[in-house]
Structure 1
Amino acid sequence: MEIDVRGPRFGAALTTVVLAVALITGSGWLLAVQAAFFAVGAAAGVQNSPYGWVFRTLVRPRIGPAPATEDAAPPRFAQTVGLVFSAVGVIGYLAGPQWLGTAATACALAAAFLNAAFAYCLGCEMYLLLKRVTTA
């Protein structure tokens, strides 16, 4: 399935804001909400995640058709990676140790920021690397 290339970047921008607030406040509960959003994106596809819905229904109609599309599999894998980091962060914040929550949230924030600001998706690159290794 092909998706608008702007959708995952929009989602990454929203994710960056949520993760920054979670990191600043140390809120395990806010991070848990983001983890749930990642879980939906990983299970149903990034286009069906809450941020994907916002992009599809509120943003895309105002900015016009997609200038380019991309395979949905790499962003979906990236959602899984985000889910893992945010789940580890939730465990750290809510059960301890606190530094684990901070470190995992910071890693997820760095990856989301790279995608939002520079259109460089670490999870997507991991997917492509794993695909090359497994098919070689």
Structure 2
Amino acid sequence: MSAEASVDPRGPRFAAAITTVVLAIVLVSGWWPLLAFQTVVFALGAFGGLRMAPYSVLYRVLIAPRLRPTTEREDAAPLRFAQGVGFGFALVGVVGYVTGIPAVALTATAFALLAAFLNAAFDFCLGCEVYPLLRRVTPRDKRA
């Protein structure tokens, strides 16, 4: 089992809380460079792995050492998928801001904010819930 096969579930919730604040600031201010930064954060988590994601690093270095250890673990694959979905919405938001289409920018950013808020406030990872549904309907290679 790889080091990233499972994670402390408090880490993704911490990351979702930071993401919620970042995306709320973007929606209120319209400052798209901050959304571009968040897009990079999502990309690192989705494509580089959760250990590379900046908010995960903050959690591991600053928060986790101050908490009691937990035996509870969460599969990393759905979390990476959720980061990929966040990346997609954030990227569309950045493109909307840069091209001067505020309706696209605001809508995409609001969807990303909603998903992050659900995770931060209610421990409900929307992307994590979609992940197994997509796995069920995606054809798998039978040769393996």
Give TM class, smaller chain: over 0.9
- Structure number with bigger Rg: 2
After TM superposition, give the deviation of residue 46 of structure 1 in Å: 2.1
Q: RMSD between aligned alpha carbons?
A: 1.2
Matched, 1:12 2:24: no
TM-score by length of 1: 0.96
Given that residues 3 and 47 in structure 1 are in contact (C-alpha distance below 8 angstroms), is that contact kept between their aligned partners in structure 2? no
Q: How does 1:16-55 map to 2 (within 5 A)?
A: 16-55=20-59
Give the C-alpha shift of residue 128 in structure 1.
1.2
Cα shift readout 1:76-118 (whole Å, capped 9, x = no counterpart): 0000000000000000111121111001000000000000000
4+ residue segments displaced more than 4 Å: none
Identity %: 54
CA distance in 2, matches of 1:45, 1:17: 22
**Distance (whole Å) between structure 2 residues aligned to residue 99 and residue 135 of structure 1:** 35
The number of residues matched between the two structures is: 136
Segments of structure 1 that go 5 or more residues without pairing to the other structure are none
Partner of 2:77: 73
Structure 2: 5+ residue stretches without partners: none
Instruction: Give the TM-score of the pair, scaled to structure 2.
Output: 0.90
Contact 1:15/1:34 (8 A) holds in 2: yes
Q: Residues 78-117 of structure 1: matches in 2 within 5 Å? A: 78-117=82-121
Letter in 1 for 2:20: T
